[in-house]
Structures are given as C-alpha cells and as structure tokens.
Amino acid sequence: MGKIAFVFPGQGSQTVGMGKSLADENENVLKLFKQADERLGYSLSQLIFEGPQEQLTQTMNAQPALLTTSIAVLEAFKQSGITADYVAGHSLGEYSALVAAEAISFTDGVYAVHKRGEFMEDAVPNGEGTMAAVLGMEREALQAITDKITESGHSVQLANLNSPGQIVISGTKQGVELAGVEAKMAGAKRVLPLEVSGPFHSQLMRPAADRLLSVLDEIKLQDASVPVIANVSATPITASGEIKEKLLQQLYSPVLWEDTVRKLLALGVDTFIEIGPGKVLSGLIKKVDRNVQLFAISDSKSIESTIEAIKEAAK
C-alpha cells in the first residue's frame, strides 16, 4: 500500500448541523467545540449546530466553523490509528492541515482563521470584488486573458487552480466580468459567478495579509510533524518560518490545488482521506486521477466504513 494524505476542505463546504452527531457521541469532540467557543468569546458551536445558515456563511464565522468541524472529525478518526504521511488543505483548509500537523494549536488556529475571515471581509468594500469559475479552459490561455485585462487597468487574476478544466478567477467586479466574456469568446465552456463576499486570492487581498501578520506573530507556530503541501507553491514544507511566510502569501496568491494533488501523487500517495464536511476535494482529486483511493469522512458512519476499507486494503 502507498502513502496516505489527509486533505481538508475550504470555505463553501459549511452546512448547519455539521459535526453535531459526532459531538453528541464523543466527549472529546464536544470538548473541541467548547474550546472554540471559549477562544472566540461567542457560541460558534451553537451557530454550527443550529444556524442560521446566512450567519454561518459569513467569512469570519465560516472559517473557524470549518476548521473546528474538520479537527473534530479528525479527533474522532484518531481512534483508528491511521496516520497521514502528508497533509494539505484548500485555502482555509490549509490551517486545518497545519493543526493536524501540530504546527498550530487548535485554539490558535480557530482564532487565526476568525481574524483572517474578518480581514478578508474588510479588505475590499462589499460588492466591489468578486470571483467566477471558468470551466473547460487551459490555465495558460486563461492566464493570457487575465494578464491582458489587468494591463488595461482592471484587476483580475487566477485564484484557484482546482482541477483540469476548473479554474476560479478573482478581482474587481468589472475585471472578472471582462475576463469572463473574453474566456467564453476564447472557447471556455462556462463561466459561473460565485457567491462570495470578496475577491479572495487576488492582489486586492494584500491589506488583509498585512493585518494577518500581526495575528501570526501573536500565536505560536512550530515545525510541522508531517509535511504540509503549501497552497502557494505545491511543495512540502515543515519549517515554522516558511509556514508563516506561505500563509501570508496565500491570501493574495492562487491556490495551486491541482498541482498539490499531482505533487502528492508524485510523492507516492495513493489514498486520500477528505476530513470534514462535504466531498468537494474528493471530486477535484478524482478529476486529476481516477485511480486513487478516495474517502470522505464527516460522521461516525463514514469514519467506520473508511477504517474498514483501509484496513482491508492493507491486508
């Protein structure tokens, strides 16, 4: 059997009620939700378990909610004794990966992403920036379009390189719209506007990175116990100084998710376990390589079936 990677979802995977069944069944899991409430000074767990969805979806709530739920699922999964050779996460999910790799403590992680969400929402006035998914286009061709639009005075860039044929662009409303029109003319299958509160992973997020630095200076970062594949470089990192640097760059740089998956495959990973709500990353990984073993765990039922399947495969 090859190597195992734990991967953690990013913003957009949040749903009301996520993690509740695990918290009801497992005292250690419930303790994590309570620790998150204490660190933030408000009842994040109530928002996760009961909603409302609109409030849960706000960036500064969605980010700590997803990190808390992902780490809660990981806590329940730990009893299996199955460990990761590598960890990675999509955007916000990179913080969950760093908690899993013991580079950041759980409560510091919750605090950092709550602040990160706040800074991201503040960086650009509401309604001025946006994102769109471009389907069925090569990155080089789309890069040429975004470069051309940026040179004409509008701001737009590649933000999430998710899988072959699925790239998200980010920037000012006008920049994204113009790039979308050009992309369609150049043969893109579809351009789908995303419901987001800002132009994430674009240069417009630099003010958020400046503010995030003071938060990362405040918390304790240590070397990771297992290599983390960084979003901005798609390379394995473990040193705390490099982790900090990459987390700051991540706010205004593209998330190289397809490259991250390819890097993990090259490192000998043949089993990916998505830890947390939803199956978004599993879908993206499948588009890169159909032959890997994929599991998505979010409750005790999916945890049990995953443990059985991995132990069976290891025989």
Tell me, what CATH number does 263's domain have?
Answer: 3.40.366.10
Same structural domain, 29 and 108: yes
What residues make up the domain containing 259? 3-123+204-314
**pLDDT of amino acid 172:** 97
Look at the alpha carbons of 104, 107, 110, 114 in this order and tell me if their dihedral is positive or negative: negative
List pLDDT tens digits, range 112-123.
999 999 999 999
Q: Which residues of the chain have pLDDT under 70?
A: 1
> What is the domain-level CATH number for residue 182?
3.30.70.250
Same structural domain, 300 and 233: yes
- The total number of structural domains that make up the chain: 2
**pLDDT of amino acid 204:** 96
Which residues lie across from 177 on neighbouring strands?
A: none
The CA distance from 93 to 23, in Å, is 20
96, 154, 201, 298: the active-site residue:
201
- Considering 196, 218, 244, which residue would you say is the last residue of a domain? 196
13, 45, 70, 91: the active-site residue:
91
Same structural domain, 81 and 36: yes
- Considering 196, 220, 247, which residue would you say is the last residue of a domain? 196
Same structural domain, 24 and 61: yes
- Considering 150, 174, 196, which residue would you say is the last residue of a domain? 196
**Residues 69-104 as b or e (16 or more Cβ within 10 Å = b):** bbbbbbbbbeeeebebbbbbbbbbbbbbbbbbbebb
225 carries an active-site annotation:
no
Q: In 3D, which of 59, 71, 159 has the Cα closest to residue 107?
A: 71
**pLDDT of amino acid 1:** 67
The CA distance from 18 to 42, in Å, is 18
Same structural domain, 172 and 222: no
**pLDDT of amino acid 314:** 80
Same structural domain, 87 and 25: yes
Longest dimension (CA), the chain: 59
**pLDDT of amino acid 113:** 98
What pTM does this model have? 0.97
The CA distance from 97 to 8, in Å, is 6
Same structural domain, 290 and 143: no
154 carries an active-site annotation:
no
The values of phi and psi at residue 227, to 5°, are -60, 135
Same structural domain, 30 and 138: no
**pLDDT of amino acid 195:** 83
Residue 34 token pair? 């309570």
Same structural domain, 217 and 80: yes
Helix (H) / strand (E) element for 33: namely helix 27-40
Same structural domain, 107 and 228: yes
Same structural domain, 21 and 133: no
Same structural domain, 141 and 268: no
